[in-house]
């Protein structure tokens, strides 16, 4: 059983453990869900990358020091998939806001006794009678993780067999996954539902599950109910979402006077071109409507603590603390700050909080600046269409990215 230690040191150690297998081994074995006792065929880096305890650029560079781009193609693709999802959603923020409104409305319906509530309850407690699905539900709740192939099967069964709204499934995942990312999670569920690639759905089949999860479901009773899976997958429908909005790229940081760094769970890398006077960690807040799993909240809390410890070590003269959002202006005044700098926050709950804090800081007469990693600035312009458009650019992007200075130390 994987034990997740939410620190940069642990993330770098996991990267080093996986690197020998990031080439042809990964290509050959990556699709097999062997169960939580054996995850040796996948990287287990997603919770670290999601919060940028380990940066995508570090992963790419380290991988290509061990393998050729051809040998590591599948793994490098997976790293870029996360960036693709984020960039795609940055160009279409209306998709995220519509999803939030859908979840709010659907959550209100769950307060009544109706067939939707009963099906949702069975799905989220692992009592549907579909053996693999119920097993994955319990694993998700207990561990905060599912194999990527299992996530696809799960979403397909949720939507097409249990006939539950995809938005509630995405919401359930986001509350329980340690690597729960608003863009990757929401858009992956939309992809299964036939909304991302319009009309193209993903159908979980008994043959596919028994082949790729044969080791964990080798006993006949473990596959109970699998014969009831939907045999067709009509795509879900929604209003068009093709309206692309340009990204408001933040200007390069220009530092003057006393600077405070606001660290959020979107970026715990501390990779910045200046020395702050004070550092404030912004704790995670609970999502609206339904509770977030304790495993997720604990991971986030400890990950932020790790970042604060690294900040104190990197900048011994800086005042380092965690700050309640409502106390941010008081914190800035306490340290006589002229400027607050924070990492770019992509679409999601953290962005909503940071946008509110930015308005309050500007109203209080503070300068507010945003740091965007060059990696995102280089890759996101190629994410406006399908992944294959980005994929064609990966070799040239990798060539440019791996020339950049990278940090490998903890």
Render pLDDT for 81-133 as a digit per residue (tens, 0 to 9): 999 999 999 999 999 999 999 999 999 999 888 899 999 999 999 999 999 99
Q: Hey, which CATH number is domain 96-228, 3.40.50.300, 1.10.1740.10, 1.10.579.10, 3.40.50.10860?
A: 1.10.579.10
Residues 183 and 99: their CA atoms lie apart, in Å, by: 11
Whether pLDDT at 387 is above 60: yes
Residues 6+ apart with CB under 8 A from 28: none
How far does Cα 198 stand from its chain's mean position? 23
**Across 54-66, average pLDDT:** 95
Residues 145 and 162: their CA atoms lie apart, in Å, by: 22
Q: Which of 406 and 13 is assigned the larger pLDDT?
A: 13
Residues 189 and 195: their CA atoms lie apart, in Å, by: 9
Phi, psi dihedrals of residue 107, rounded to the nearest 5°:
-65, -35
- When the pLDDT of each residue in the chain is averaged and rounded to a whole number, the result is 93
pTM of the predicted model as reported, rounded to 2 decimal places? 0.95
**Across 12-37, average pLDDT:** 96
Query: H or E segment at 140?
Result: helix 131-143
Would you state the pLDDT for residue 112?
A: 84
Whether pLDDT at 45 is above 70: yes
Place of tokens 């996101």: 380
Would you state the pLDDT for residue 291?
A: 83
Would you state the pLDDT for residue 284?
A: 83
Residues 6+ apart with CB under 8 A from 171: 103, 107, 290
Q: Are 33 and 149 in contact (CB under 8 A)?
A: yes
Model confidence at 403, pLDDT cuts 50, 70, 90, reads confident
Three-class DSSP category at 188: helix
Whether pLDDT at 408 is above 50: no
203-219 burial code (b ≥16 CB/10 A, e <16): bbeeebbeebbeebbee
The tokens for 212 are 């790729």
**Across 317-332, average pLDDT:** 95
Residues 402 and 182: their CA atoms lie apart, in Å, by: 27
Render pLDDT for 275-293 as a digit per residue (tens, 0 to 9): 999 999 999 876 666 689 9
Whether pLDDT at 407 is above 70: no
Domains 96-228 and 259-371 share a fold: no
Q: Where are the domains of the chain?
A: 8-89+378-401, 96-228, 259-371
Q: Could you give the angle at the alpha carbon of 269 between the alpha carbons of 263 and 272, nearest 5°?
A: 80
Place of tokens 């453990």: 17
Q: Are 282 and 325 in contact (CB under 8 A)?
A: yes
Query: H or E segment at 367?
Result: strand 367-371
Render pLDDT for 362-383 as a digit per residue (tens, 0 to 9): 999 999 999 999 999 999 999 9
The tokens for 120 are 């949702």
Residues 6+ apart with CB under 8 A from 163: 119
Q: For the domain made up of 259-371, give the CATH fold.
A: Rossmann fold (3.40.50)
Q: What is the DSSP letter of 158?
A: I
Would you state the pLDDT for residue 243?
A: 86
Residues 357 and 363: their CA atoms lie apart, in Å, by: 10
Render pLDDT for 122-164 as a digit per residue (tens, 0 to 9): 999 999 999 999 999 999 999 999 999 999 999 999 999 999 9
Class of domain 8-89+378-401: mainly alpha
Would you state the pLDDT for residue 172?
A: 97
Q: Which of 241 and 346 is assigned the larger pLDDT?
A: 346
Model confidence at 405, pLDDT cuts 50, 70, 90, reads very low
**Across 325-334, average pLDDT:** 95
Residues 357 and 350: their CA atoms lie apart, in Å, by: 11
How, if at all, do strands 367-371 and 339-343 pair? parallel
Residues 125 and 141: their CA atoms lie apart, in Å, by: 9
Residues 91 and 335: their CA atoms lie apart, in Å, by: 36
The tokens for 408 are 């490998």
User: Could you tell me how many residues make up the chain?
Assistant: 410
Would you state the pLDDT for residue 289?
A: 65
Residues 22 and 248: their CA atoms lie apart, in Å, by: 35
């Amino acid at each position: 059983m994987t034990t997740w230690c939410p620190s940069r040191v642990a993330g770098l150690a996991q990267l080093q453990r996986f690197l020998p297998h990031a080439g042809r081994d990964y290509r050959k074995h990556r699709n097999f869900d062997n169960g939580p006792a054996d995850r040796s065929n996948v990287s287990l880096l997603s919770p670290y990358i999601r919060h940028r305890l380990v940066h995508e650029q570090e992963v790419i560079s380290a991988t290509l020091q061990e393998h050729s781009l051809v040998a590591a193609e599948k793994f490098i693709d997976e790293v870029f998939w996360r960036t693709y999802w984020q960039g795609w959603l940055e160009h279409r923020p209306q998709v995220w806001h519509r999803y939030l409104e859908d979840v709010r409305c659907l959550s209100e319906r769950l307060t009544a006794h109706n067939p939707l509530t009963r099906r949702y309850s069975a799905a989220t407690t692992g009592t549907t009678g579909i053996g693999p699905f119920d097993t994955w539900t319990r694993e998700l709740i207990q561990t905060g993780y599912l194999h990527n192939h299992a996530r696809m099967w799960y979403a397909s069964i949720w939507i097409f067999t249990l006939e539950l709204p995809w938005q509630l499934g995405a919401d359930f995942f986001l509350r329980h996954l340690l690597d729960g990312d608003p863009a990757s999670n929401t858009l992956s569920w939309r992809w299964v539902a036939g909304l991302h690639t319009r009309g193209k759905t993903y159908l979980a089949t008994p043959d596919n599950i028994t082949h790729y999860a044969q080791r964990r479901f080798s006993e006949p009773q473990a596959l109970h109910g699998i014969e009831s899976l939907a045999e067709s997958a009509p795509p879900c429908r929604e209003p068009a979402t093709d309206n692309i909005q340009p990204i408001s790229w933040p200007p390069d940081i220009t530092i003057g006077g006393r600077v405070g760094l606001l660290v959020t769970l979107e970026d715990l890398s501390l990779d910045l071109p200046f020395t702050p006077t004070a550092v404030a960690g912004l704790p995670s807040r609970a999502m609206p409507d339904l509770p977030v799993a304790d495993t997720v909240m604990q991971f986030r809390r400890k990950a932020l603590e790790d970042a604060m410890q690294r900040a104190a070590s990197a900048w011994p003269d800086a005042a380092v603390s965690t700050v309640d959002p409502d106390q941010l202006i008081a914190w800035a005044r306490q340290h006589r700050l002229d400027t607050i700098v924070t990492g770019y926050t992509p679409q999601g709950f953290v962005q909503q909080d940071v946008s509110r804090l930015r308005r309050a800081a500007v109203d209080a007469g503070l300068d507010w600046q945003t740091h965007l990693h060059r990696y995102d600035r280089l890759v996101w312009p190629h994410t406006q269409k399908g992944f294959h458009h980005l994929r064609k650019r990966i070799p040239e992007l990798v060539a440019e990215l791996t020339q950049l200075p990278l940090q490998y130390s903890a």
